[in-house]
Amino acid sequence: MNNADTKKIKVLAYLRKSTEDNKEGEARRQKNSIEYQREVVKEIAERNNLEIVRYFEDSKTGYKAFQREGFDKMLEFFREQKHEGVVKGIVCSEHNRLARNFGDGGFLLWYLQDGLINTIYTYDKIFTNSASDQMMLAINFAMSKHSSDETSWRTKRTWSHRAHTEGQPPNQHLAGYKYTGEKGKRFWTVDKKNAPIVKEMFERFATGEYTVSEIFDYAVSEGLTSPKSKKTYDSEKSIRGLLKKKEYTGIFMYEGEEIKGKYPPLISSELFYKVQEVLSGTAHPKTQGKNEYAYTGLVKCGVCGGNMSGTIRKGITYYRCLHRYEPCKSNKGQRPSYLRETLIDEEITELLLKIQVSDKQFNKLIPYVSDFFEDEKSKYRYEIIQLKGKLTEAQRNLDFYNKELFTIKRVPEKERDKDWLMDKEGLEGLRENAHQEKEMYERQISKAENLKDTVPTLMFNFLKGIKIVGSRFKTASPSNKRQIVDTLCANFKWNGKELSWEWKKPYHLLTNSNEKRRWLRDQDSNLEPNG
Ligand SMILES: [Zn+2]
C-alpha cells in the first residue's frame, strides 16, 4: 500500500437492481445491471479518491420500505461503527438507487444529520451533510419516488396481474389450514381441528392480557399441531411467527404484491393489526399492558433457566417455571416451588427504602442516566421514522385501492359479471386491510412519540425521589413495577429456596456495591411445583 492509498476516503458502495427497470427497455435494463453499476461506482471512486471498503447489494424491489437486506445491513454498519467510525460515505451510481421510498430516504437523511454519514457520492452529484445538500437530497428522493409512482408502480399493481395465482398462497403450510388437491392446483381449506385454536390465540393475545409464553402454553395445551410435522409446537418463536401471519386475514403476499386470497379468512384485519400492535409492544417492556403480571419474563428458573410466568392461585399471584427445559421438563422432583409475587415486592420495597443517594452519587449517576436515556430516545426516534415510512406506504395502498374501487364502480350495470364482482370484493378486502394497517401505524406513532417524551422525565423524577418510589412501589401498577425493576435490576433467578439478582449498570452506584442479593423464600409458600 502506498501513501496515496492511505489518504483515500473510506466509503461503502451500494448497488441495487430493481425488477421494474427490467421492464423498461434495453437501455434501462443495461443501466440496471449490477455489473454496470459496479463499473460506474468504481469510476466515481476513482474520480473522488475514494476507497470502497465494502459493497452492499440488493436485487429486490425498492418500493416496499424496509425489505432491502443489503440496504439495511449498510445502515447497520454505520450504526455499529458509531460516530467514531472511519467510514463516513456512500458511493452509489444514482441517488434514486439509494432510496426509492420515504422510509429509506428518512433514514439516510437522519444519518446525515446525525453525522453517522458525512457524504453521499453519486455520478452527477455529491451530497454533504450541509443543510442545503440535505434539502436537495430530500427533494431528489421525493422526485424519484414521484417518477417511480408514475411509471411502473401503476402498471405493476393492476388487478388482472393478481388473478393468475388463483388466489391461493403458493406452496404454504399454515396451521389452521389444510393444503389439499393435486400438485400445482392446491388450495387452502379450513382445518376444523386447528382453526378454532388459532382464532382463539389471536383473540386472547389481542386483549393485551397474555404474553406470547401464555399463548404458547395455550396452543400446546389445546393440541395445536404443525401442518408440516403434524406435531405440537415446541417453541415460543414459532407461535410468535403464527401471530404474524397475515394469511389468516385472507390476504397474502406474492412476489411482493398483496393479494386477496380465494380461501376463507380465519380472522378480521382489525384483529390482526391489534395483535401486531401488542406484539410490537412486547419488544419494549415499558409499553406492556396494565394487566401483565409485573415480573413475567424478568425472573428465570434457577433450575432449568427457563422463564417464569405469572399465575394466580387462590387469589394470590405466583410465578412458576413452565417446565420447558431439562431438568424441569421431565424431572418433577427438581422443579422449584412457586415464587410468591409479594416476596419480590417486599424485598424490592425494603431495598429501595434503604437506598441513600448522596449528592456525590447523584452527580455520578446523572451522566450515565442521561446517556442511557439519550440512547432510549434515539431508539424511539429511529422507530418513529421507520413507522412513518410504513404509514406512508399504508396510506399509499389505501389511496390506490380507493382509486381502483372508484374506477371499477363506474363500469355500467349491464357489463358487471362474475369477474367484476370478484374484483370488487377483492379490492374491498384489500382496502379494509390497508385501512386497519394505517390506523395501527398511527396509534403506534403516537405511542412512541409519547414514550420518547416521558421516558427521561420519569427517570429524573425517579432519581430525585427514589425514597418515594420505594414507599409507593408496593401500590404501583404491575407495569410501573415492572418498569422500575427492569430499569434497576437484572438476572432474577429463583431456585425454590432463594431469589438472586444483580444491579444493572449504572445503578449499582446507588449502593456502592455490585454484590448479588439473596433472600430466603417465605416459609408459607408451600404450593406444589406441579400444582
Ligand atoms: Zn425450571
- Residue 504 and residue 372 share a domain: yes
- Nearby residues for ligand 1 (ion, Cβ within 5 Å): 301, 303-304, 321, 328
Of the spans 190-204, 294-308, 442-456, which averages the highest pLDDT?
190-204
DSSP one-letter string for 65-103: TT--HHHHHHHHHHHHHTTT-S--EEE-SSHHHH-SSHH
Q: Ligand 1 centre from 519 Cα, in Å?
A: 19
Q: Is residue 164 part of a domain?
A: no
- Residue 505 and residue 379 share a domain: yes
Q: Ligand 1 centre from 308 Cα, in Å?
A: 8
**Shortest CA distance to 6 belongs to which of 86, 117, 121, 88?**
86
Q: Is residue 317 part of a domain?
A: no
Q: Ligand 1 centre from 495 Cα, in Å?
A: 8
Buried b (16+ CB within 10 A) or exposed e, 406-437: eebeeeeeeeeeeeeeebbebbebbbbbbbbb
Asked whether the predicted pLDDT for residue 201 surpasses 90, the reply is: yes
Predicted model pTM: 0.48
- Residue 374 and residue 243 share a domain: no
Q: Ligand 1 centre from 522 Cα, in Å?
A: 19
We report the CATH number of the domain holding residue 248 as 3.90.1750.20
- Residue 135 and residue 15 share a domain: yes
- Residue 238 and residue 94 share a domain: no
> Of 268, 283, 298, which residue sits at a domain end?
283
> Of 257, 283, 309, which residue sits at a domain end?
283
Q: Ligand 1 centre from 297 Cα, in Å?
A: 13
Could you give the number of structural domains in the chain? 3
> Where is pLDDT greater, at 383 or 483?
383
- Residue 150 and residue 267 share a domain: no
- Residue 178 and residue 149 share a domain: no
- Which of 60-69, 465-474, 487-496 bottoms out in mean pLDDT, i.e. has the lowest? 60-69
Q: Is residue 334 part of a domain?
A: no
| pLDDT score for 368 | 67
> Where is pLDDT greater, at 286 or 422?
422
| pLDDT score for 517 | 54
Cα 351 to Cα 142, 344, 467, distances in angstroms: 55, 11, 10
Q: Give me the domain span that covers residue 273.
A: 173-283
Are 437 and 394 contacting, i.e. CB atoms less than 8 angstroms apart? yes
Q: Ligand 1 centre from 240 Cα, in Å?
A: 21
By the 10 Å C-beta count (0-12 exposed, 13-18 middle, 19+ buried), 377 is classed as: middle
| pLDDT score for 96 | 73
Average pLDDT over the chain, rounded to whole? 76
Q: Is residue 88 part of a domain?
A: yes
Q: Where are the alpha helices (DSSP H) in 115-251?
A: 131-148, 154-156, 159-163, 195-206, 212-222, 236-242
Q: Ligand 1 centre from 324 Cα, in Å?
A: 7
- Residue 179 and residue 88 share a domain: no
- Residue 180 and residue 151 share a domain: no
Q: Identity (one letter) of the amino acid at 380?
A: Y
Q: Ligand 1 centre from 307 Cα, in Å?
A: 8
- Residue 148 and residue 192 share a domain: no
Average pLDDT value for residue range 94-100: 74
Average pLDDT value for residue range 150-155: 34
Model confidence at 273, in pLDDT bands (50, 70, 90)? very high
By the 10 Å C-beta count (0-12 exposed, 13-18 middle, 19+ buried), 209 is classed as: middle
> Of 283, 301, 317, which residue sits at a domain end?
283
Q: Ligand 1 centre from 329 Cα, in Å?
A: 7
We report the CATH number of the domain holding residue 117 as 3.40.50.1390
- Residue 107 and residue 181 share a domain: no
Q: Ligand 1 centre from 323 Cα, in Å?
A: 5
Q: Ligand 1 centre from 309 Cα, in Å?
A: 11
Which positions ≥6 away from 257 have C-beta within 8 Å?
156, 157, 161, 162
Q: Is residue 290 part of a domain?
A: no
Q: Ligand 1 centre from 529 Cα, in Å?
A: 10
Q: Ligand 1 centre from 513 Cα, in Å?
A: 29
Q: Is residue 401 part of a domain?
A: yes
Q: Ligand 1 centre from 531 Cα, in Å?
A: 14
Q: Ligand 1 centre from 480 Cα, in Å?
A: 27
Q: Ligand 1 centre from 255 Cα, in Å?
A: 43
Of the spans 24-38, 249-263, 438-452, which averages the highest pLDDT?
438-452
What percent of the chain is modeled with pLDDT above 70?
69
Per-residue pLDDT tens over the stretch 408-460: 888 888 888 887 888 888 889 889 999 999 999 998 888 888 777 766 665 56
The grid coordinates of residue 235 equal 417453541
Q: Ligand 1 centre from 312 Cα, in Å?
A: 18
Q: Is residue 426 part of a domain?
A: yes
Q: Is residue 331 part of a domain?
A: no
Average pLDDT value for residue range 347-351: 73
Asked whether the predicted pLDDT for residue 511 surpasses 90, the reply is: no
- Residue 143 and residue 187 share a domain: no
| pLDDT score for 35 | 82
Q: Ligand 1 centre from 194 Cα, in Å?
A: 29
Q: Ligand 1 centre from 526 Cα, in Å?
A: 17
Of the spans 67-76, 202-211, 279-288, 354-363, which averages the highest pLDDT?
202-211
